[in-house]
Amino acid sequence: MAKLIKGVHHINLRAVGTEGFEKAVSFYRDILGMEVVRTWGTDERPGIMLNTGDAVMEINGGAKEMQPVGGAIPHFALATDDVDACIEAVRAAGYQVTIEPRDFAFANCSTPDYNIRMGFCIGPCNETIEFFCEK
């Protein structure tokens, strides 16, 4: 079978209202340092794409209510070289850290062994974010 998928293009978040949109943009742009790729929309339904390094984070404003944590996609992972710095940045900005940074080894249960460092938080749109580093 032909390979149909070549990668992840974007992750989409829906922010509640203008204030929620601005908070989400500030989180990803100002706290995590993602650069703006493009913007569009109106005051009532703004949109933005931010560079994650190998995909983009799309944020749309105009949602009527906050989405529940989890759902069909329980979390997404953002690659980083410094999980601890990411967790400290989101904590300093007042966001909930749900799993403190820790090392984990998938030894004897993964071929080959897989060593990682990870930490989790809840983002501005009620999304669960994993900060992920392969070791």
CA distances from 33 to 3, 86, 116 (A): 33, 10, 22
CB 15 within 8 A of CB 65: no
Q: What is the pLDDT of residues 80-113, one digit of tens each?
A: 999 999 999 999 999 999 999 999 988 777 778 7
pTM for the whole structure:
0.89
| Residue 119 or 113, more confident | 119
Average pLDDT, the chain: 91
The residues spanned by each domain of the chain are 9-65, 74-135
Main-chain phi, psi angles of 133, to 5 degrees: -135, 120
Q: What is the pLDDT of residues 12-56, one digit of tens each?
A: 999 998 899 999 999 999 999 999 999 999 988 999 999 999 999
Q: What are the tokens at 62?
A: 């105009």
Fold of the 9-65 domain: 2,3-Dihydroxybiphenyl 1,2-Dioxygenase; domain 1 (3.10.180)
Give the mean pLDDT of 60-82: 85
74-135 has which CATH code? 3.10.180.10
CB 46 within 8 A of CB 21: yes
CB 93 within 8 A of CB 122: no
Rounded to a whole number of angstroms, the CA Rg of the chain reads 16
DSSP state of 27: I
Which residue type, as a one-letter code, is found at position 69? V
**Distance separating alpha carbons of residues 114 and 104, to the nearest angstrom:** 8
